[in-house]
Amino acid sequence: MNLTAIMAIYRFEMARFRRTLAQSLFSPVLSTSLYFVVFGAAIGSRIDEIEGVSYGAFIVPGLIMLSVITQAISNASFGIYMPKFVGTIYELLSAPASFLEILAGYVGAAATKALIIGVVILATSFFFVDLTIAHPLAMLAFLVLTSVSFALLGFIIGIWAGNFEQLQLVPLLVVTPLVFLGGAFYSISMLPPFWQAVSFFNPVVYLISGFRWSFFGTADVPIAWSLLAIGIFTGLCLLAVAWIFKTGWRLRQ
From first to last of its 253 residues, the chain has per-residue pLDDT tens of 789 999 999 999 999 888 877 777 778 878 877 887 777 666 666 777 888 888 888 999 999 999 999 999 999 999 999 998 888 888 888 888 888 999 999 999 999 999 999 998 999 888 888 888 999 999 999 999 999 999 999 999 999 998 888 888 888 888 889 988 898 888 998 889 998 999 999 989 999 999 999 999 989 999 999 999 999 999 999 999 999 988 888 876 5
Helix (H, G, I), strand (E, B) or coil at 51: coil
Q: Rounded to an integer, what distance in angstroms lies between the CA atom of residue 153 and that of residue 42? A: 34
Helix (H, G, I), strand (E, B) or coil at 132: coil
DSSP 97: -
Give the pLDDT score at 94. 84
Give the pLDDT score at 40. 65
Q: Where are the domains of the chain?
A: 3-247
What b-and-e string marks burial along 87-97, b requiring 16 or more CB atoms within 10 Å of the CB? eebeebeeeeb
Give the pLDDT score at 185. 86
- CA distances to 24, 105, 238 from 152, rounded to whole Å, are 18, 11, 7
